[in-house]
């Protein structure tokens, strides 16, 4: 397998895109979806709550001033859940076309 | 790459640029590898963490939306102590409508002790804050 190209300094946006295109793995959506599911399940287990229930409570700000729920984790969980729903919805649309 | 994807790629580039500018001791190759543009474009989000020195961690979560040909986002940037506890975080969830520059705000921890404070909404400002906090902590 070819070794990914790396850089040793700040590069321009054009170089950044070139680097990405050169190293692009074209990971299938199914793999990305699986990673999102793993992350979501990790938080569901940790906080003993279904993501659908959590998302509604999060939007209402129920955890906003509660120190037992670290903000960075709540945001990671919430946005992962949004991305999961979007990807799932796109997959269904593509399957239906 | 469509327009939304181009805007995401520019944002990811900007995030890396701002981190390297704020913390020049960090390794550029590691940072360019840490931010996977492929995943960012597929999930329309960034969700990662970077050790910014002395055991302190920066977490960056951004979820992107395409509205009126512009990139909109929900974000959370957090600075974690070496023991994993939160020191400060910044986000734009719509939870404190009374604050100036709503919805942008920041939290110091524990939150029960410190009320939320207004924030500019700029990632570069959060990084500058964090650098100052770490420098004071190491004095």
pLDDT value, residue A19: 86
DSSP for residue B112: T
**Using the beta-carbon criterion (under 8 Å), do A80 and B45 form an inter-chain contact?**
yes
Shortest CA gap A77–chain B (Å): 10
pLDDT value, residue A68: 87
pLDDT value, residue B114: 94
Residue A53 lies in a domain: yes
Range of the domain at B68: 3-137
pLDDT band of residue A7 (cuts 50, 70, 90) is: low
pLDDT value, residue A26: 74
Total domain count, chain B: 1
Could you report the per-residue pLDDT of B76-100, keeping only the tens digit for each?
999 999 999 999 999 999 999 999 9
Question: Order of strands across the sheet with B86-91?
Answer: B45-53, B56-67, B70-80, B86-91, B105-108, B117-118
Range of the domain at A58: 27-96
Residue A76 lies in a domain: yes
For residue B86, the chain A residues in CB contact (below 8 A) are 70-72
Looking at chain A, which residue has its C-alpha nearest residue B105?
A: A64
pLDDT band of residue A24 (cuts 50, 70, 90) is: confident
B-facing residues of A in 41-60 (CB < 8 A) are 58
Residue A1 lies in a domain: no
B17 touches chain A (CB under 8 A): yes
Residue A51 lies in a domain: yes
Q: What mean pLDDT comes out for the span B128-137?
A: 92
ipTM of the complex: 0.92
CA distance A70 to B107: 11
pLDDT value, residue B98: 92
Cα dist. B64→A96, B7, B26, B44, B69 in Å?
25, 9, 26, 5, 12
A-facing residues of B in 81-110 (CB < 8 A) are 86, 89, 91, 93-96, 107, 109-110
pLDDT band of residue A1 (cuts 50, 70, 90) is: very low
Q: What percent of chain B has pLDDT over 90?
A: 83
Q: Is the pLDDT of residue B41 over 80?
A: yes
Rounded to the nearest integer, the mean pLDDT of chain B is 94
Partner residue opposite B43 with nearest CB, options A10, A32, A58:
A32
Total domain count, chain A: 1
């Amino acid at each position: 397998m070819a070794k990914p190209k790396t850089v040793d300094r700040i590069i321009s946006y054009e170089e950044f895109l070139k680097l990405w295109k050169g190293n692009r793995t074209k990971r299938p959506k199914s793999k990305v979806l699986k990673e999102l599911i793993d992350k979501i399940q990790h938080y569901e287990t940790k906080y003993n709550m279904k993501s659908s229930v959590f998302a509604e409570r999060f939007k209402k700000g129920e955890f906003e001033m509660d120190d037992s729920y670290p903000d960075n984790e709540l945001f990671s969980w919430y946005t992962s859940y949004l991305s999961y729903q979007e990807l799932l919805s796109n997959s269904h649309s593509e399957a239906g076309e | 790459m469509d327009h939304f994807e181009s805007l995401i790629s520019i944002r990811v580039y900007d995030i890396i640029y701002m981190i390297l500018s704020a913390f020049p001791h960090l390794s550029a190759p590691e940072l360019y590898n840490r931010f996977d543009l492929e995943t960012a474009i597929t999930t329309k989000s960034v969700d990662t963490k970077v050790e910014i020195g002395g055991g302190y961690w920066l977490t960056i979560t951004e979820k992107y939306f395409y509205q009126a040909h512009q990139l909109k986002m929900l974000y959370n940037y957090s600075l974690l102590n070496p023991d994993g506890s939160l020191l400060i975080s910044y986000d734009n969830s719509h939870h404190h409508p009374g604050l100036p520059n709503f919805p942008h705000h920041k939290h110091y921890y524990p939150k029960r002790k410190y009320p939320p404070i207004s924030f500019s909404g700029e990632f570069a400002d959060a990084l500058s804050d964090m650098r100052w906090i770490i420098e004071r902590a190491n004095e």
